[in-house]
A and B are shown apart, each in its own frame.
Chain A
Amino acid sequence: MIAVARADLRRMLARRGLILTSVLVPVAIVLVLAAVLMFLHTRNAVEHPIVGGASFFSFVSIIGIISVVFGTVIGAIFGAEDVASGTLRYILLTGFSRLRLFLTRIPVLAIVAIGVALPAFVLLLIGALILPHAGEPSVTASEVGRLLLSLVLTVGIYALIAYGIGVAIRSTGGAIAIALGLNLIGISLFNLITLAVPGVKPWLLDSALTRVSDGGDTSIAIAIVALIVWPSVFLAIGLVRALRTEA
């Protein structure tokens, strides 16, 4: 299984357009932010004294949103590609079981989806540390850890959800659309539900992600369970489909 996971990882990384876009767009955003802030600082250091520090690092939320979108796209493609392109049957013909195939790809996807988000995060951290931020609190290790955890969980979980959807609906484009729709629109819809049923809120994915990374007064246990249940439901749907579908 390790050889297969390694080979699948190489395959995913060979999609240069997708991977480079997923890495470079967030990196470009960090660079543009830094360039604009530096430009303003150079022109008028009094009015714009701060470039780096904690305020610069707070842009991680933008990186998080973009990385979730790319993670979702990668997950959907990873889930749907083999059926959509007709390669699944040739994998199954090697005798490699559907279950093993499905399970092997989960860590590979997590590595790829999280991996493409990390360069921008690291760049943002470097910028926060080296860019001028006189008077501004510096970035603390605990803050870095908290935001890294948030990024890893958010990107990883949405990528896994997209993977489950991709396997289930077997169409790359459709899977991307549904997974992104769930990510971008579904959250708002679920928030509407919480207006009617407030008790549901801790179980919502975004609430759970916020609770785990940012803290809060709701139950951490519920948040952890929610973070396990949400991707598990979509992965289970995908697995059922993967085991039953004719290649």
Chain B
Amino acid sequence: MADPIIRCEGVTRTFGKRTALDNITLTVEPGRCYGFLGPNGAGKTTLIRCLLGLARPTSGSITVRGYDISREPAAALARVGAIVEEPRFYGYLSGRQNLELWAAYVGADALTRVPALLSRVGLDARAGDKVSAYSLGMRQRLGVARALLSDPEVLVLDEPTNGLDPDGVAEFRVLIRSLVEQDGRAVFISSHLLDEIEKICDDLAIVNQGRVITSGTLADLIAAGGRELRVECDDPARAEALLRGLPTVSSVTVLANGTLSVQLAPDSAETRAGVNRKLIEAGLAVSRLEPREDSLEERYLSLVHEAGQA
């Protein structure tokens, strides 16, 4: 496996008595989209500011592209692009002029990339307009273009779809996935929007009150959650009694709408078929039988709730 492009080890950041980040440890691999998911005030922006050297952790270490961000910020950030909180520009300059200005800070090569980047984010037709006339979505896209000026190995995006309309969110999602899949860049994205993370990210960490509750691949995280069989039939009460007698059924609950939620042990195609067979043989009319995993939302809510209780 390649070296992580971002590595945080035991990162803690306090503001007076308040702990904004509490012993955060995570790694972001190259070519992956990593979601940092948590409610508002969980510490997402604070971590991003620490990752980018805009704030210093109280303790712990952060390396970006193998460089310690505190000791070698210029080397660490040389090929990092970012949007923190919201993309800010000089409103009295056009989109193109803004990019050209930042290209001067990045280096000579960056200037040659400006036209292609404007085209890539779909702003070439409006590049000559002043940024003060841009919508939030356009500024977000210009922010991505700016973040790409240094041909970054990793993009760090803080709540990038905040305030975007549904079309803007969809466009942004396509753009981010193309950066990962076509360019092979790593993207670290913070969000409180579950749907966004589920559709964009490969890996994620869930954070609450400054602590990482869980982390891993999206698929593993969802798979670690609850699985059940949803059953609809013409006599839920009788079906419940029948299924309670099956050795492969660990629990049965009749939901408010009459649907049965069945937990199987083990959950397999065979045990699911056994449920169906039992109900049919008893003469029940089964209209629906659907294996179901916890959604990310359910998983997230349950983890955050558990962490809150702990």
Residues of A within 8 A of B (CB): 3-4, 6-8, 10-11, 14-16, 85-87, 89-97, 246-247
Q: Which residue from chain A places its CB closest to the CB of B156 in the assembled complex?
A: A93
- Among the listed stretches B75-83, B203-211, B269-277, B286-294, which one makes contact with chain A, having 4 or more residues with CB under 8 Å of it? B75-83
User: Complex formed: what's the CA distance from A246 to B77 in Å?
Assistant: 16
Residues of B within 8 A of A (CB): 49, 52-55, 73-75, 77-78, 80-82, 84-90, 92-93, 97, 100-106, 108, 146, 149-150
Among A10, A86, A89, the residue within 8 A (CB) of B101 is A10
Asked if B100 contacts A92 (CB within 8 A), the reply is no
Asked if A92 contacts B104 (CB within 8 A), the reply is no
B18 → chain A closest CB, angstroms: 16
Q: A86-B85, A86-B86 are in contact. List 15 more A-B contacts (CB 8 A).
A: A7-B100, A7-B101, A7-B105, A8-B104, A10-B101, A11-B97, A85-B90, A89-B54, A90-B87, A91-B105, A93-B80, A93-B82, A94-B77, A94-B105, A94-B106
User: Complex formed: what's the CA distance from A89 to B45 in Å?
Assistant: 13
Among A3, A89, A93, the residue within 8 A (CB) of B108 is A3
User: Complex formed: what's the CA distance from A92 to B54 in Å?
Assistant: 8
Among B77, B92, B146, B150, the residue within 8 A (CB) of A14 is B92
* B residues in contact with A14, CB < 8 Å: 90, 92-93, 97
> Which of A14, A92, A93, A246 is most buried by chain B, counting CB atoms within 10 A of its CB?
A93
* A residues in contact with B106, CB < 8 Å: 94-95
Asked if B104 contacts A4 (CB within 8 A), the reply is yes
* A residues in contact with B150, CB < 8 Å: 94
Given the known interface contacts A93-B77, A93-B82, the answer about A7 and B104 at a Cβ–Cβ threshold of 8 Å is yes
Q: Which residue from chain A places its CB closest to the CB of B93 in the assembled complex?
A: A14
Asked if A96 contacts B105 (CB within 8 A), the reply is yes
User: Complex formed: what's the CA distance from A118 to B81 in Å?
Assistant: 41
* A residues in contact with B82, CB < 8 Å: 90, 93
Given the known interface contacts A85-B90, A95-B77, the answer about A90 and B146 at a Cβ–Cβ threshold of 8 Å is yes
* A residues in contact with B90, CB < 8 Å: 11, 14, 85, 87
Asked if B84 contacts A89 (CB within 8 A), the reply is yes
* B residues in contact with A95, CB < 8 Å: 73-75, 77-78, 106
CB-CB nearest 10 A-B residue pairs: A7-B104, A86-B88, A94-B105, A95-B74, A95-B77, A96-B105, A3-B104, A7-B101, A87-B88, A94-B106
* B residues in contact with A85, CB < 8 Å: 88, 90
* A residues in contact with B100, CB < 8 Å: 7
* A residues in contact with B89, CB < 8 Å: 87
> Which of B49, B55, B101 is most buried by chain A, counting CB atoms within 10 A of its CB?
B101
User: Complex formed: what's the CA distance from A92 to B52 in Å?
Assistant: 9
* B residues in contact with A91, CB < 8 Å: 102, 105
A22 → chain B closest CB, angstroms: 15
Asked if B52 contacts A93 (CB within 8 A), the reply is yes
Given the known interface contacts A11-B93, A14-B93, A95-B77, the answer about A90 and B88 at a Cβ–Cβ threshold of 8 Å is yes
User: Complex formed: what's the CA distance from A11 to B97 in Å?
Assistant: 8
Asked if B54 contacts A246 (CB within 8 A), the reply is yes
* B residues in contact with A94, CB < 8 Å: 77, 102, 105-106, 149-150
Q: Which residue from chain A places its CB closest to the CB of B77 in the assembled complex?
A: A95
* B residues in contact with A247, CB < 8 Å: 54
User: Complex formed: what's the CA distance from A11 to B104 in Å?
Assistant: 12
User: Complex formed: what's the CA distance from A50 to B54 in Å?
Assistant: 62
Q: Which residue from chain B places its CB closest to the CB of A93 in the assembled complex?
A: B82
A90 → chain B closest CB, angstroms: 6
User: Complex formed: what's the CA distance from A91 to B149 in Å?
Assistant: 12
27 contacts between A and B (CB under 8 A): A7-B101, A7-B104, A7-B105, A8-B101, A8-B104, A11-B97, A14-B90, A14-B92, A14-B97, A15-B92, A85-B88, A86-B86, A87-B88, A89-B54, A89-B84, A90-B87, A90-B88, A90-B146, A91-B105, A92-B54, A93-B77, A93-B82, A93-B84, A94-B105, A94-B106, A95-B77, A246-B49
Given the known interface contacts A87-B90, A92-B53, the answer about A97 and B84 at a Cβ–Cβ threshold of 8 Å is no
Given the known interface contacts A89-B54, A94-B150, A246-B54, the answer about A4 and B92 at a Cβ–Cβ threshold of 8 Å is no
Q: Which residue from chain B places its CB closest to the CB of A16 in the assembled complex?
A: B92
A21 → chain B closest CB, angstroms: 14
* B residues in contact with A10, CB < 8 Å: 97, 101
A112 → chain B closest CB, angstroms: 14
User: Complex formed: what's the CA distance from A114 to B182 in Å?
Assistant: 50
Asked if B88 contacts A246 (CB within 8 A), the reply is no
Q: Which residue from chain B places its CB closest to the CB of A1 in the assembled complex?
A: B104
